[in-house]
Amino acid sequence: MAPLMVTLSEAIERARSEDRSVLTEIESKQVLAAAGIPVAEATLAASADDAAKAAAKAGFPVVLKIVSPDVTHKSDVGGVKIGLEDEAAVRTAYDDIIAAVSDRQPKARIEGVAVQAMARPGTEVIVGMSKDPQFGPVLMFGLGGIFVEVLKDVSFRIVPLEERDAREMIDEIKGRAVLDGVRGGEPADIGALASLLLQLSAFAEANPQVEELDLNPVFAYKDGCLAVDARIVVSAES
Amino acid sequence: MDYPDLTQRLDRAFNPKTVAVVGDKRAMGYMWLHSMKAFAGKLYSVQIDPAEIPGIEALDVPNYAAVSEIPDDIDYVLCAVPRPVAARIVADCAKKKVGAVALFTSGFAETETEEGIEAQQQVTDIARENDLLLIGPNCMGIYNRRLGVRHSPDQESGDAGNVGFISQSGTHCINFSLIGATHGIKCSKTVSFGNAVLLDAPDYIDYLAQDAETDVIAIYIEGTKDGPRLLRSLKAAAARKPVVVWRGGTSTAGSRAVYSHTASLAAAPDIWSAAMRQAGVIETEDLDETIDAVKALVYCKPASGKRMGLVAMTGGQSVVITDAFEREGMEVPLLMPASYEKLASFFNIIGGSYRNPLDAGGTIGMGFVPGNLKKLFEILDEDENVDAIAMEVSGTFIARRLRANPEMMDGLLDLLSEQRERSAKPFLAITHPSHIEDVMAGMRRKLLDRGVAAFTSFHAAARALARTTAYWARRDGA
């Protein structure tokens, strides 16, 4: 089992010792949670038994995701199982995931599987940070799914952001009306999304070693929001 | 570099009492000395080539062999010598403790050659070690209209202006002042800053932001070495006065491999635009857009909202003027019932209509019926659904009737300028070049002379008003 909480510098040290710049989902989430950013907690399980125990603790239904520094697109290699309702299903899913990833990406180092309670669905958004050669850290906001994949409907602001910048970058996307709730969906908590952007701005400012960051997706609810998946990329050298 | 007391020192350079031109020559038509002939202070020349000296003396400019030999303090030096001599002149300027030196000399890092980069380092080091203000190199330096410190003999001088321009390019710097002048834009101070080795865009932005003579700042820039600093300067300036930023070129992001979704989506032009929005400046894409936006800022009162009252001369133009403003995000609402009551009492609805836009050719005949045009304006002024007023000044109508009747033309000009003065709402006149381009250009000029914002197309007027209205709303609003 990985330590319960890991600091960014510990995570970076570990990543560098393993010659990688991408933190695992679990590392990324622990670092972000420590910064007060709302993330869906995930526990690393290195065996089917561990996974079943972690699932019981997290509460069913759960989702299992492969944890490997070498796998970037988890679902493409059969590394994700969702909607697991009991311990038996979790044990089976664990074995299936390990087998699928070993089969499709034999060289991948596998640390185990992340166990996390299925998040209540909300409006999917993506929030991220990257570095621009001229302006340095830049935040991105957009709606998830096809809005970002196909339509590239995203907006940007330079770190540090003020409250007004966060509000304006949310309002700027073409699909903004989706956040008001469509087809009976609940409206998104704009204040919570703005707070998330401001927290990330502070996080990026305080941690120049972070090169890129994705919270994808974030579920926006009528009261609050939750990052369901997270990825942090750090600079290769200090 | 961090110069101590930079504001005071730039003040000295931008408002010189003494100017020296170094290295002007016949082959350039003595362009610098001719440009500086309008200078209100004392002008000196420095030239050691005996073949050039008679030509300089013929211009009645005292010539010296070195800046350090001039028996006067020198506030501003324009240096036009060839590159191999530049370092020696810069060192001499440092010795003389001049206010600032602008290096017109080129052939430095912009050539991307080893010699160029080395030569640039050399002049930079000399200036830095001696705490000398260095503008450029590879630039046109300073234009101060009031004092007649100029880049070109064609630039206007003698009276004050109120628009500052800061430009990475010398061409765009000159063109903004020359072409802007034909659009009624008077520059206070401009600077072409070239390779920006010591003084960079943010230094000039900070300076013009606090300059009492400058009401509006426009900028041409191709990129920045320090994005966060540029953003801070733009944001601080835009909180005080309108700033228009025209960006040329696109920066190429490094080819570094990216792992995240965010990084793969972050294209440089989008980031630039985001930074401009964050700074609260008006972003433009070319000289025309820049001039139009500045014109609207200088000539139009800030609009309280996006709702237009539109006046055109024909049905077709009523449709198209409405399209233009709506496309730029402005609104063309119904008027208040009281306005319709008033309009119904005199509006000629045969071949016309007055829903908004007002298709008013038959009612006002471009000022043949001045009483009716005045009434229309008064109704739009009083109407609480209208934030701004725009009117087509039709070339077709002018050609048909007004061209041969100068008094009537003057009457129309009077009416439009009275409207501009009386109304608290911004007023825009659109003078399409039409088939009588020269007449319409003259008309536009006369309108601008009387303080009326005159634009060459519906789209240009709509875009400029939409941008400036957004600027004022963001600055003063939420």
pLDDT (mean) for A200-204: 97
Under 8 Å CB pairs connecting chains A and B tally to 87
Does residue A152 sit within a domain?
yes
Q: Do B260 and A214 touch (CB under 8 A)?
A: yes
Chosen for mutation from B234, B261, B270, B476 (greatest number of chain A CBs closer than 10 Å) is: B261
Query: Is position A27 within any domain?
Result: no
Residue in chain B lying closest to A161 (CA): B278
For residue range A18-43, list pLDDT tens digits in order.
Answer: 888 989 899 999 999 999 999 999 99
Q: Does residue A23 form part of some domain?
A: no
Residues A55 and A89 in one domain: yes
Does any CB of chain B come closer than 8 Å to the CB of residue A132?
A: yes
Is residue A1 assigned to a domain?
A: no
Chain A contacts of B272, Cβ < 8 Å? 134
Inspect the interface and report whether the beta carbons of B274 and A156 lie closer than 8 Å.
yes
pLDDT of residue B259: 61
CB B459 within 8 A of CB B428: no
To the nearest whole Å, the CA of B247 is away from the closest chain A CA by 14
Residues of A in contact with B265 (CB under 8 A): 140, 142, 148, 152, 154
Choose the final residue of a domain: A63, A88, A117. A117
- What is the predicted ipTM? 0.89
- Find, among B366, B388, B349, B375, the residue nearest to B440 by Cα: B366
| A230 contacts chain B (CB < 8 A) | no
Note whether A190 and A206 are same-domain residues.
yes
**Angle at B236 (CA atoms; ends B225, B277), nearest 5 degrees:** 70
Residues 169-198 of A with CB under 8 A from B: 169, 172
Q: Which residues of A touch B227 (CB under 8 A)?
A: 132, 134-136, 158
From the list B258, B261, B278, which residue is nearest A126 (CB)?
A: B261
SS (H, E, C) chain A: CCCCCCCHHHHHHHHHHCCCCECCHHHHHHHHHHCCCCECCCEEECCHHHHHHHHHHHCCCEEEEEECCCCCCHHHHCCEEEEECCHHHHHHHHHHHHHHHHHHCCCCCCCEEEEEECCCCCEEEEEEEEEECCCEEEEEEEECCHHHHCCCCEEEEECCCCHHHHHHHHHHCCCHHHHHCCCCCCCCCHHHHHHHHHHHHHHHHHCCCEEEEEEEEEEECCCCEEECCEEEEECCCC
3-state secondary structure B303-339: CCCCEEEEEECCHHHHHHHHHHHHHCCCECCCCCHHH
- Residue A129, pLDDT > 50, answer yes
Q: Look at phi and psi of residue B325 and say left if phi exceeds 0, alpha if psi is from -120 to 50, else beta.
A: alpha
At A90, which CATH number? 3.30.1490.20
Task: Tell me if A130 and B223 make a contact (CB, 8 A cut-off).
Answer: no
Please provide the average confidence, as pLDDT, over all residues in chain A.
92
Distance from CA of B15 to the nearest CA of A (A): 33
Closest-CA distance, A52 to chain B, in angstroms, reads: 31
Chain A residues touching residue B261 (CB < 8 angstroms) = 126, 128, 148, 214, 216
- Quickly list DSSP for B366-421: GGTSHHHHHHHHHHHHH-TT-SEEEEE--HHHIIIIITT-HHHHHHHHHHHHHHHH
∠ CA B409-B410-B415 to the nearest 5 degrees? 100
A112-117 sheet: strands from edge to edge: A43-45, A112-117, A62-67, A80-84
Dist. CA A218–CA A235, nearest whole Å: 24
Q: Indicate whether A228 and A132 sit together in one domain.
A: yes
A84/A134 same-domain check: no
Q: State the nearest Cα–Cα gap between B356 and chain A, in angstroms.
A: 29
Q: Is residue A7 included in any domain, yes or no?
A: no
- Whether A104 and chain B come into contact, CB under 8 Å, resolves to no
Q: How far is A91 from chain B (nearest CA, A)?
A: 31
| One domain for residues A77 and A157 | no
| pLDDT of res. B180 | 97
Residue A149's pLDDT is 76
- Average pLDDT, integer, range A38-65: 95
Nearest CA in chain A to B475: A164
Count up the domains in chain A and report the number: 2
Quote the minimal CA–CA distance from A85 to chain B in Å: 31
- Which residues does chain A have within 8 Å of residue B231's beta carbon, measured at their own beta carbons? 135, 158
- If you average pLDDT over residues A193-212, what whole number do you get? 97
**A146 and A92, same structural domain?**
no
pTM above 0.90, yes or no: yes
**How far, in Å, CA of A142 to CA of B30, rounded?**
57
Cα distance from A128 to chain B (closest Cα, Å)?
A: 5
Smallest CA–CA distance, residue A38 to chain B, in Å, is 19
Same domain, A111 and A168: no
* Domain membership flag for residue A69: yes
Residue A6 lies in a domain: no
Residue bearing tokens 């003494």 = B18
Identify whether residues A107 and A133 lie together within a single domain: no
**CB contact, 8 Å: A168 with chain B?**
yes
User: Is the confidence at residue A49, as pLDDT, over 90?
Assistant: yes
- Which of A96, A117, A138 terminates a domain? The answer is A117
Nearest by CB to residue B223, choosing from A134, A136, A142, is A134
**CATH classification of the domain holding A156:** 3.30.470.20
The confidence band for A70, taking pLDDT boundaries of 50, 70 and 90, is confident
Pick among B245, B260, B475 to test the A interface (most A CBs inside 10 A): B260
**Domain identity same for A113 and A141:** no
The side-by-side arrangement of strands in the sheet containing B141-144 is B141-144, B187-192, B163-167, B216-221, B243-247, B282-284
Full domain range(s) for residue A100: 41-117
Q: Are residues A185 and A134 in the same domain?
A: yes
The last residue of a domain, from among A97, A117, A137: A117
**Which of A130, A131, A146 to mutate: most B Cβ within 10 Å?**
A130
Q: Which residues contact A7 (CB under 8 A, 6 or more apart)?
A: A31, A34
Distance CA(B153)–CA(B143), nearest Å, equals 11
Residue pLDDT tens, chain B, 478 long: 788 899 999 999 999 999 999 999 999 999 999 999 999 999 999 999 999 999 999 999 999 999 999 999 999 999 999 999 999 999 999 999 999 999 999 999 988 899 999 999 999 999 999 999 999 999 999 999 999 999 999 999 999 999 999 999 999 999 999 999 999 999 999 999 999 999 999 999 999 999 999 999 999 998 888 999 999 999 999 999 999 999 987 545 443 455 666 666 677 888 999 999 999 999 999 999 999 999 999 999 999 999 999 999 999 999 999 999 999 999 999 999 999 999 999 988 877 788 999 999 888 876 677 789 999 999 999 999 999 999 999 998 888 877 778 888 888 999 999 999 999 999 999 999 999 999 999 999 999 999 999 999 999 999 999 999 999 999 987 5
Identify the closest residue of chain A to B250 by CA–CA distance: A134
A28 lies in some domain: no
Of A136, A172, A213, the CB nearest to B262: A213
Q: Which domains does chain B have, with CATH numbers?
A: 6-140 (3.40.50.720), 301-476 (3.40.50.261)
**Same domain? A93 vs A135:** no
Say whether both A137 and A200 belong to one domain.
Answer: yes
Residue A150 or B27, more confident: B27
